[in-house]
Structure 1
Amino acid sequence: MATLNPSATTDGTWLSRWEPENTSFWSAGASRLAWRTLTITTLNLTMAFIVWFLVSALVVRLPQIGFKFTPQQLFWLAAMPGLAGGTLRLVHMFLTPMFGTRLVVSLSTLSLLIPLVGWFYAVQDPGTPYWMLMLLAFLAGLGGGNFSSFMPSTSLFFPKRLQGTALAIQAGIGNFGVSIVQFVTPWIIGFALMGGAAFMGDSQTLTKAGVQSQVYLQNAAAVMIPFVFVFGVSAWLMLKSVPVKANFAQQFDIFRSRHTWSMTSLYIMTFGAFSGLSATFPLLIKQIYGGFEGAPDPLAWAFWGPLVGSAARVVAGPLSDKFGGARVTHWAGLGMLGATLWVTTLTSPTGLDSFPMFVAGMLTLFFFAGVGNASTFKQMPMLFEPRQAGGVIGFTAAIAAYGPFLFGMLFAASFGAFKSATPVFYGLAAFFAFNVVLNWWMYARRGAANPC
């Protein structure tokens, strides 16, 4: 019976054996260990998303407290975490098979303290140079990088029949970090933390529509610091690592498969759109509807987008396990296409009357993007063996993580050249249509060579 002990380790970190497809092994304690690992890693991933999208919640407030930036500079700030997140994910995709879950999750989480402390101090001084804010925005991308090591780790812990559910739970709840930071920020900056202790910093004067108020913008970063510390230390104390190892060179075998590239395109459609629109939704509301009298507060609405998308991702995981990832991706892609075409009719308003419909169209787009986020992660483990599946998950997530950067640049260019976001949404519609056809032909149609 000792040989069935899933908790046995070779050095306190690496498990001596891991066979999730073995039902006896799974029921002997592996299931409990896998779900515990999922819980701890998901908490850490949620903090990673909070830090990654912190800038999107701060950037709309910076001009209101005295920072002098153009709309293009603000879009660049919102885009920079996406550039960093995508780049760092290309590194993270290799880390789990090399260093193990315990080391990667704990140290990656604790590294988030760097941008949090930096933003805590930077927003207190409107004289902080733009290059410093750009550097701190790039460092916020440390949170974006974590996804490409955390998710492959989870895929190794679960049998294929449960991977759609497990990965959707982790990514979906992790994605809630976007909504959390965008929802909490407007509230938490409204009062002094810890009784106004001196080390928490002074307030800033916020001017909106000619009305002044006192805010503590640094609180958005400060409130997250203890959670990051506790979750990072907990990961070090409680996690183990699956004995699936490969060096850097061995992991390049995934690039010889056409499925790596097709799944990358599909995940750009789903998560690239989710992350890119999550980062730019507040600024889109401000640029499209902010010029009208009684304009809405972007942060009062923007958090709904990632909230809806994240919830859809959690729900769509079990559905993908039941009906098949490719079929769910097909309908998600069609939904994204329809929602995008709907939004194009609402991006050149003449007043606030169309704002509710604009929000509804965007939330529909977020919903179907969330569904597709879950279903694509069901497809990948079905197309590859476990170690390769983890690598493909990491790589596709890395490329799609450039979404905030790409969308920030596209919207900045579109507003600069056309004074409108409409051309970007037309381009998105064309890309979504291409991916619907790609997925249908390779995976979803009757008689497909690789149904998944």
Structure 2
Amino acid sequence: MSTLASPTTLAPAAAGRPGPITEWRPEDPRFWATTGAPVARRNLYVSIFAEHVGFSVWSLWSVMVLFLGPEYGIDPAGKFLLTAVPAALGAVLRLPYTLAVARFGGRNWTVVSALLLLVPAVPMAVLIEPGVSYATLMVLACLTGVGGGNFASSMANINLFFPERLKGRALGLNAGGGNLGVPAVQLVGLAVLATAGAAYPRLVPAVYLPLIVLAALLAARRLDNLPGARNEPGALRAAARDPHTWVMSLLYIGTFGSFIGFGFAFGQVLQLQFHDRFPTPVDAAWLTFLGPLIGSLVRPFGGQLADRLGGARVTFGNFVAMAAGAGLVLYAARDRSFPLYLAGFLALFVFSGIGNGSTYKMIPAIFRARAAAEAELTGDREAAERRARRLSGALIGIAGAVGASGGVLVNVAFRQSFLASGTADAAYLAFLGWYALCFLVTWAVYLRPGPRKLSGV
């Protein structure tokens, strides 16, 4: 992860149009009040917009599959693969995108990562029509994964601008604004379906072409590169050896993986499970955006709740609720009760959003608790806290990458379930089992009383 090598002041013009920043000291109250806060806010607002567009491009295929009617010759299993591959590439890119901020500069990388969104969007706006090969569609779907990497680089960049006491709120706004790209692209798809019709899928990526260019231009004109940002040598290796990294990655698969996986798959599943109620794509599209919208809006609330009650407690209760939601969806699907089915799925979106916030809050809390214990033994509080920040940043990068792979697992689970039995029942049972594993692990590692329990997580 990116950190600041040393406490750094600010160059003159940075509060208005960005000039080169030579020093940056966000923890200095006077500096922050006079100069730092306006610069950080400006960078945050532009970052939210650029990340929002990236998330929308990443989520394009959650909409595009609704346009692929019988004339494209693709069965439901093939459509689930088209929504799985963007999640896979997005997960893989999150780690290198995190490291790119310190290597190339936050402004520079945001410009590059925004322009990379044109790589899938331009050919999609040209090539998608009846007769296009499935292999071409798979390549185009995979390329939209570049949008998934933007979240990691955006979070790493904004993390550098704010003092510790304000990082949670800033990162929550940045993450929530990005996550809103999922329902936003689905609303764009709904608008195209309702006006131009299902015969014009190319209009959906075409809508994003000017927004991608605007994001790149705003980044070039309004963002800053901070001095002294660097990738801590050995931090990723040290974090990879820490058991908490893999525990938190498992939990993040359950929260963020569920959010992005359900966001990609929800429209297809609605049509397959309740085809009599949703015979056409436009019938399903008006509901598709609802779950991701709610899940995005409640994400900051999960962090705030974790501040009050403790991240581990909120995460534990959250996974219990997600298991109950998966059980309700399973029951409703078997009973053919659409109201119960919708209530269960919306509950899964709500609690995956809350869990995204609470698990992110757990990560720094874990290392703060360990730093306090280490400082008591060694007497060197500063060194312990520095090590905690170093490992915490690296863990966020790894957990973000691994967690995003949950989007692949959700879509593959739906695909295999429909292939094997023609229903999604097996997938719902798998989700229920995973959430049960997550709440048991949360209790065993972070809540179970004992001498090794970490206090304050």
Q: With structure 2 as the length reference, what TM-score do the two structures score?
A: 0.86
Deviations 1:260-294 (A, max 9, x none): 11111111110011111111111111111114686
Q: Which residue of 2 aligns with 1:404?
A: 407
Alpha-carbon distance in structure 1 between the residues aligned to 2:116 and 2:153? 14
Instruction: Answer yes or no: is 1:61 the counterpart of 2:56.
Output: no
Q: Which residue of 1 aligns with 2:215?
A: 231
Alpha-carbon distance in structure 1 between the residues aligned to 2:102 and 2:391? 10
RMSD across aligned positions (CA): 2.5
Instruction: Answer yes or no: is 1:368 the counterpart of 2:351.
Output: yes
Q: Which residue of 2 aligns with 1:255?
A: 240
Alpha-carbon distance in structure 2 between the residues aligned to 1:445 and 1:121? 56
Instruction: Answer yes or no: is 1:51 the counterpart of 2:43.
Output: no
Q: 1:346 to 1:97 in 2, by over 3 A?
A: same
Q: Which residue of 1 aligns with 2:314?
A: 328
Shift of 1:404: 2.6
Q: 1:154 to 1:36 in 2, by over 3 A?
A: same
Task: Map 1:10-409 onto structure 2 (within 5 A).
Answer: 15-63=21-69, 66-123=71-128, 125-191=129-195, 206=198, 215-242=199-226, 243-246=228-231, 251-291=236-276, 297-350=283-336, 354-384=337-367, 385-409=388-412
Identity of aligned residues (%): 33
Shift of 1:250: 5.1
Shift of 1:80: 1.2
| SS of match in other structure, 1:79 | helix
Alpha-carbon distance in structure 2 between the residues aligned to 1:429 and 1:38? 37
Shift of 1:181: 0.8
Alpha-carbon distance in structure 2 between the residues aligned to 1:97 and 1:389? 16
Deviations 1:74-115 (A, max 9, x none): 111111111111111132232223222112212101110111
| SS of match in other structure, 2:66 | coil
Q: 2:435 aligns with which of 421, 432, 435?
A: 432
Q: 1:409 to 1:116 in 2, by over 3 A?
A: same
Alpha-carbon distance in structure 1 between the residues aligned to 2:11 and 2:270? 50
Q: 1:418 aligns with which of 415, 421, 446?
A: 421
Shift of 1:429: 1.5
Alpha-carbon distance in structure 1 between the residues aligned to 2:144 and 2:357? 25
Q: Counterpart of 1:421 in structure 2: which amino acid?
A: A
Q: With structure 1 as the length reference, what TM-score do the two structures score?
A: 0.87
Q: Counterpart of 1:244 in structure 2: which amino acid?
A: A
Shift of 1:244: 2.6
Q: Which runs of 5+ in 1 are unaligned?
A: 193-204, 207-214
Q: 1:314 to 1:247 in 2, by over 3 A?
A: closer
Shift of 1:187: 1.0
Give yes or no for contact 2:21–2:224 (8 Å, CA) kept in 1.
Answer: yes
| SS of match in other structure, 1:240 | coil
Deviations 1:412-452 (A, max 9, x none): 11111122211112121222122222223433456732532
Q: Which residue of 2 aligns with 1:6?
A: 10
Alpha-carbon distance in structure 2 between the residues aligned to 1:84 and 1:102? 23
Deviations 1:125-160 (A, max 9, x none): 211111111000000111011112211222232233
Q: Which residue of 2 aligns with 1:210?
A: none
Give yes or no for contact 1:93–1:148 (8 Å, CA) kept in 2.
Answer: yes
Deviations 1:359-401 (A, max 9, x none): 1110011101100101111222334444443332222111121
Alpha-carbon distance in structure 1 between the residues aligned to 2:22 and 2:299? 33
Q: Counterpart of 1:252 in structure 2: which amino acid?
A: R
Q: Which runs of 5+ in 2 are unaligned?
A: 1-6, 368-387
Q: 1:162 to 1:437 in 2, by over 3 A?
A: farther
Give yes or no for contact 1:151–1:171 (8 Å, CA) kept in 2.
Answer: yes
Which deviates more, 442-451 or 330-339?
442-451
Alpha-carbon distance in structure 2 between the residues aligned to 1:239 and 1:388? 27
Q: 1:248 to 1:115 in 2, by over 3 A?
A: farther
Which deviates more, 386-395 or 293-302?
293-302
Which deviates more, 40-49 or 144-153?
144-153
Give yes or no for contact 1:164–1:320 (8 Å, CA) kept in 2.
Answer: no
Give yes or no for contact 1:5–1:28 (8 Å, CA) kept in 2.
Answer: no
Q: Counterpart of 2:141 in structure 1: which amino acid?
A: A
Which deviates more, 415-424 or 302-311?
415-424
Q: Counterpart of 2:114 in structure 1: which amino acid?
A: T
Alpha-carbon distance in structure 2 between the residues aligned to 1:118 and 1:436? 43
Q: Counterpart of 2:394 in structure 1: which amino acid?
A: G
Alpha-carbon distance in structure 2 between the residues aligned to 1:441 and 1:26? 41
Give yes or no for contact 1:83–1:405 (8 Å, CA) kept in 2.
Answer: yes
Q: Counterpart of 2:99 in structure 1: which amino acid?
A: F
| SS of match in other structure, 2:263 | helix
Give yes or no for contact 1:444–1:451 (8 Å, CA) kept in 2.
Answer: no
